[in-house]
Amino acid sequence: MSADLTTLHTARTAPGELPGTMSAWVIREDRLGEPKDAIQLEEVDVPEPGAFEVIVRVMAAGVNFNNVWAALGQPISIFRYGDHPETGHHIGGSDASGVVWKVGDGVTRWKPGDEVVVHCNQASYEDVEVHGLDPLAAPSQRIWGYETTWGSFAEFCKVQAQQLLPKPKHLSWAEAASYGLTYFTAYRMLMDQANMQAGDKVLVWGAAGGLGVFALQLAKAAGADAVGVVSSDEKGKLVEQLGAVGYINRNEFAGMMRKGGETPEEEKARFKTSRAFSNRVAELLGGEQPNIVFEHVGKATFPTSVLTVRPFGKVVICGATSGYNLDFDVRYLWMKQKEIIGSHFANAWESTRANALIDEGKIRPVLWKTLPFDEVANAHQLLRDNQHLGKIAILVGAKDEDEGREETTPARPGAIRAEVGA
């Protein structure tokens, strides 16, 4: 059945009732490949909520790289995971803002009509890790809209009730859908995993990127000094606007990037450039090395991160954009008693606390572009081709990029509009 977008911006049923079908951007196993071909608009059945589940009418969705990987089927096909074998389709999208439309058995905290944003961590209520350790440790843990279907690139999405957070009223639907995945990840990395304190010194790689813009704002809000690394002076201006004490254009230290397969001489030369970079970081931090390094670049930067962090300092890492096989001189780790900490997304408690800072206007989303629903596949192709300059939000139920914003007392600013960066 072909999708009908004429009613996209009108509620076809009253809250509490679901229509039979909906428009959705769907990936199927037999057409994995480039996002523009793999992600296609279809009319699919609207799911019913199970126990402790909620159906949300999506007003806006946020674009993340994970749905590019889902489209490509790399490095693994997501069709082996979660509810994919059962439904046979993947509706991606791990960030959403919207309205609670129908609740399943057992849901008492939320009711139809509530305005929400969604965090993307799921775990089974029955796993014991959820009740005392951390949902991220549960065997059933999944990233919604990546390792599960029923994500936000559809008129309705299906989530666990614990994924819901109140929508900050001063943000439009588009702004509210733009920050969850990256911001909540940065929050866990710095606030809980690295235990960032006032007076700390922080080095942030990819500082104008999806994670970086929030790492800088969190450091500023916590009373820590941060230096951001970027690849252009234009991005450096955004980094300063976000509260960093300074930025470094990494092109000035291109020789520090680890490529692999180096001769001993090349390795020595790389180390020398890393040392110069490390000195420049300390200079910008008032003569002190950082005690926290915020890592997600991986292979290219990890040896420099371990070298640059202060003795007894922490390198906290959640990704590896440049490659996940890391090697580094371990003597700098053990002799100086440094720590490496792995981190992955955030739990409901962390997401709630982080969302409260957005609600209070202490942290602001950073948005590049808002696109209409029919641009979902093209938006992912932009990411795939590295043609994007920052964060993209997609209008689903919302008609325009300002819809959903309410006046608050005191007045709070919305998203930072950035020409480059996240």
Ligand X SMILES: NC(=O)c1ccc[n+]([C@@H]2O[C@H](COP(=O)([O-])OP(=O)(O)OC[C@H]3O[C@@H](n4cnc5c(N)ncnc54)[C@H](OP(=O)(O)O)[C@@H]3O)[C@@H](O)[C@H]2O)c1
Q: What SS3 class is residue 362? A: coil
Binding of residue 297 to ligand X (CB under 6 A)? yes
Q: What SS3 class is residue 173? A: helix
120 and 345 Cβ atoms separated by less than 8 Å: yes
Alpha-carbon span 310 to 287, nearest angstrom: 12
Which residue in the set 152, 182, 217, 305 belongs to the binding site for ligand X (CB under 6 A)?
182
Which residue in the set 55, 118, 138, 230 belongs to the binding site for ligand X (CB under 6 A)?
230
Please count the CA atoms within 13 angstroms of the CA of 255 that sit on its side-chain side: 14
Which residue's CB is nearer to ligand X, number 257 or number 333? 257
Which residue in the set 57, 201, 235, 364 belongs to the binding site for ligand X (CB under 6 A)?
235
**Tokens in use for 418?**
């950035």
Which residue's CB is nearer to ligand X, number 319 or number 361? 319
* Region of 29-37, 196-204, 210-218, 263-271 interacting with ligand X (CB under 6 A): 210-218
Alpha-carbon span 137 to 121, nearest angstrom: 11
Binding of residue 231 to ligand X (CB under 6 A)? yes
Which residue's CB is nearer to ligand X, number 19 or number 319? 319
**Tokens in use for 237?**
């201006």
Backbone angles phi, psi at 295, to 5 degrees: -110, 140
**How many residues form the binding site for ligand X (CB under 6 A)?**
28
Binding of residue 211 to ligand X (CB under 6 A)? yes
Which residue's CB is nearer to ligand X, number 316 or number 376? 316
Which residues ranging from 20 to 59 are in contact with ligand X (CB under 6 A)? none
187 and 218 Cβ atoms separated by less than 8 Å: yes
Residue with tokens 């980094």: 239
Task: Output b/e per residue, 306-319; b: 16+ Cβ within 10 A.
Answer: bbbbbeebbbbbbb
Which residue's CB is nearer to ligand X, number 208 or number 245? 208
Residue with tokens 């588009």: 174
Binding of residue 149 to ligand X (CB under 6 A)? no
Which residue in the set 49, 98, 206, 290 belongs to the binding site for ligand X (CB under 6 A)?
206
Binding of residue 250 to ligand X (CB under 6 A)? yes
Dihedral angle over CA of 420, 65, 176, 114, nearest 10: 170
Alpha-carbon span 91 to 136, nearest angstrom: 22
CB neighbours of residue 356 within 10 Å: 14
51 CB-near residues (< 8 Å, 6+ apart) = 104, 105, 106
Which residue's CB is nearer to ligand X, number 156 or number 277? 277
Give the nearest distance from C-beta 406 to ligand X in angstroms.
28
Alpha-carbon span 298 to 102, nearest angstrom: 42
Give the nearest distance from C-beta 28 to ligand X in angstroms.
23
* Region of 45-53, 269-277, 315-323, 366-374 interacting with ligand X (CB under 6 A): 315-323
Which residue's CB is nearer to ligand X, number 22 or number 143? 143
Binding of residue 153 to ligand X (CB under 6 A)? no
* Region of 92-100, 179-187, 269-277, 363-371 interacting with ligand X (CB under 6 A): 179-187
Which residue's CB is nearer to ligand X, number 229 or number 309? 229
Give the nearest distance from C-beta 168 to ligand X in angstroms.
20
Give the nearest distance from C-beta 227 to ligand X in angstroms.
13
* Region of 14-22, 32-40, 201-209, 276-284 interacting with ligand X (CB under 6 A): 201-209
* Region of 19-27, 39-47, 263-271, 318-326 interacting with ligand X (CB under 6 A): 318-326
Binding of residue 332 to ligand X (CB under 6 A)? no
Binding of residue 170 to ligand X (CB under 6 A)? no
Binding of residue 300 to ligand X (CB under 6 A)? yes
Alpha-carbon span 23 to 377, nearest angstrom: 14
Alpha-carbon span 94 to 383, nearest angstrom: 15
Q: Across 40-127, where does the E strand assignment appear?
A: 40-45, 53-62, 90-91, 96-103, 115-118, 121-122
Which residues ranging from 342 to 381 are in contact with ligand X (CB under 6 A)? 344-345
How, if at all, do strands 369-371 and 40-45 pair? Answer: unpaired
Binding of residue 210 to ligand X (CB under 6 A)? yes
**CB-based closest residue to ligand X:** 209
Alpha-carbon span 363 to 394, nearest angstrom: 21
Interface residues with ligand X (CB under 6 A)? 65, 181-182, 185, 205-206, 208-212, 229-231, 235, 250, 257, 296-297, 300-301, 318-319, 321-322, 344-345, 422
